[in-house]
Amino acid sequence: MANPFYIAEEIDEEIRRLTGPLAGLLRGMPGLVALDDVQIEHVSYTGHRSIKFTFADGNRWNCARLCRLPRESYPDLCRACRSLYSRLYEDELLRRQLEPMRQALRAMERAGFQPHQLAEHRDALAERERHLRRHHRHDDEAMYTWGVDPAAPGADRATVSISARGMQVDFIAYDEFDSVTAEQQRAITAITERFRIDIEGAFRVSECYLGDSYAKAEAKGLALLKAWLSREQLAQYESQQSFDVIGGTTGKRYRIHHGRQQNIAELDKSGRRVCGWCFLPEGQLVAGDVMLAQKIALETNEKAALKVANKFGDRRYGRSPGDVSRLPTAGELRALTYGGGRRQGRTVMDELAVFGSAVVSVDPTS
């Protein structure tokens, strides 16, 4: 039986007013269920989006819902959510950059650009498409999966995840009971209710939503870039959607293509691409801002810029594991206690010991 449980119904009017159409973001937050010993099993871009239990009698329970955690654990979860959202945001921006690049290529073909110029643009486009296919396929996948493998014989996996669909961070909240007894259902519900998290984390995540304001920001960023480019760079950008800068330290030539990531090519003396560099300012800045920061950094402080940059191009580069440094550790999860009620002071482990133990492993690079 399916029992949808959408937390949006519990959001007060003020948050509804502030978030407006973003209410979809607020449908849930990652559930966090601990068994005997819980750890982040792995952090990956694919995985389950529910908590699943199989009882010894074969009854099953799947759930993803809001959870309540002690306030001191909010920062970790909020960081994890913001990191997740940043990933989605980057993905969306990268996807949005493809069409202008295709249009620019068509325009260059119509304008009769030289074959080597077209080839360079095609290569950049193809590389961007490859990168998206390999590393940014988050259309409908969970981003972080906090998984638990109960060690009890006959037990199923238990996973907790934050899932995402496109730009919506869609923390699905639902229950699916498969022939569980009323007693089992009450036990599970009681546990998850104790771990309900407030809306703060989800609300912060919604700050970076891409909407009309993004289009305005993008236009503003491009205007700023154009105002700060040299006449030659501006002419080049307007005809080719890229401009050249000279490294202030080495004198090397770099070509900054329109974009936010993977958009800098180092060129040799004959203008051929040597490799790619990727660095950008922190925060969700629009393409114009990013390109301007890249230009200024390369021209005035090339060494420092390349020190933080990732090099790519003539070698395969691995998947970024994302920022997992501040996800809760096993010890932190074990230390969580209830904040009120008759269970005040009891640990998660006390409450959940009935369900057995869990495997502990960490693999942030999976």
Partner 1 sequence: MPAQIVMDHTGDTRHEFDADDKAATAAAEERFKELTGAGFTAGKRIGNGQVELLRKFDGNADETIFFPRLQGG
When asked if residue 98 is in the footprint of partner 1 (CB under 8 A), the reply is no
When asked if residue 235 is in the footprint of partner 1 (CB under 8 A), the reply is no
Residue 287 makes CB contacts below 8 A (sequence gap 6+) with 93, 97, 218, 221, 222, 258, 259, 260
What's the Cα-to-Cα distance from 46 to each of 42, 136, 156, 185, 223, rounded to whole Å?
10, 11, 18, 28, 38
**Which tokens in the block code for residue 29?**
């937050």
Closest by Cα among 77, 100, 37 to 263: 100
Beta bridge partners of 54: 60
CB of 290 to partner 1, least distance (A): 9
Residue of 125, 217, 324, 359 interacting with partner 1 (CB under 8 A): 217
When asked if residue 240 is in the footprint of partner 1 (CB under 8 A), the reply is no
CB of 91 to partner 1, least distance (A): 13
> Which of 120-128, 249-257, 301-309, 324-332 is the region at the interface with partner 1 (rule: CB under 8 A)?
301-309
Residue 21 DSSP class: G
When asked if residue 278 is in the footprint of partner 1 (CB under 8 A), the reply is yes
When asked if residue 309 is in the footprint of partner 1 (CB under 8 A), the reply is yes
Q: Around Cβ 193, how many Cβ atoms within 10 Å?
A: 12
CB of 60 or CB of 273, closer to partner 1: 273
Residue of 124, 262, 266, 336 interacting with partner 1 (CB under 8 A): 262
CA–CA gap between residue 216 and residue 211 (Å, rounded): 9
Quick check: 73 and 332 in contact, CB under 8 A?
yes
CA-angle at 119, arms to 224 and 100, nearest 5°: 35
Residue of 92, 129, 156, 218 interacting with partner 1 (CB under 8 A): 218
Residue of 21, 153, 251, 283 interacting with partner 1 (CB under 8 A): 283
Contact residues for partner 1, defined by CB under 8 A: 208, 213, 216-221, 223-224, 228-234, 260-262, 278-286, 288-289, 292-293, 296-297, 299-301, 304-305, 308-310
